[in-house]
Amino acid sequence: MASSAEVTLQEQLGQLYQPELIVVHDAIFDTTAANYVVELLQQKPTASLIVLTGSTPEVMYSLLQEASRIGVVTFEWATLFSLDEYVIDPAHPGSYAAFMESRLFSNLHTSRPTWHIPRGDAPDPQAEAVAFEARIREHVAQNGLIDLAIVGVGPSGAENVHIGFNEPGPDSHRHSVTRVITIPPETAAVNKALFVEAARKHGWQGQDEYPSEAMSMGISTILDTSARLLVLAKGAGKAPGVKRMLEGEVGWECPASYIRCHPNVTVLLDEAAAALLEQ
Contact positions vs ligand GLP (CB under 6 A): 52-56, 83-84, 152-154, 156, 164-165, 187, 191, 194
Closest approach of ligand GLP to the CB of residue 3, in Å: 33
- The string of DSSP codes covering 65-124 is HHHHHTTS---TT-EEEESEEESS-TTSTTSHHHHHHHHTGGG-SSPPPEEE---TT-SS
* Nearer CB in complex with ligand GLP: 109/237: 237
Least distance CB 232 / ligand GLP (angstroms): 8
Nearer to ligand GLP, 47 or 198 (CB): 198
**Cis link prior to 155 (omega < 30° from 0)?**
yes
**Smallest gap, in angstroms, from Cβ of residue 55 to ligand GLP?**
4
Closer by beta carbon to ligand GLP, 113 or else 164:
164
> Which residue, 9 or 276, has its beta carbon nearer to ligand GLP?
276
CB of 100 to ligand GLP, least distance (A): 12
Find the residue with minimal CB distance to ligand GLP: 54
Identify which of residues 110 and 225 has a Cβ nearer to ligand GLP in the complex: 225
CB of 168 to ligand GLP, least distance (A): 13
Distance CA 120, CA 53 (A): 15
CB of 225 to ligand GLP, least distance (A): 16
Dist. CA 85–CA 128, nearest whole Å: 11
Please give the distance of CA 115 from its chain centroid, rounded to a whole number.
15
Work out how close the CB of 84 gets to ligand GLP at its nearest, in angstroms, rounded to a whole number. 5
How far are the Cα atoms of 22, 45, 100, 132 from residue 105, in angstroms, in the given order?
A: 28, 16, 6, 21
Closest to ligand GLP by CB, 55 vs 264, is 55
Name which of 53 and 207 has its Cβ closer to ligand GLP: 53
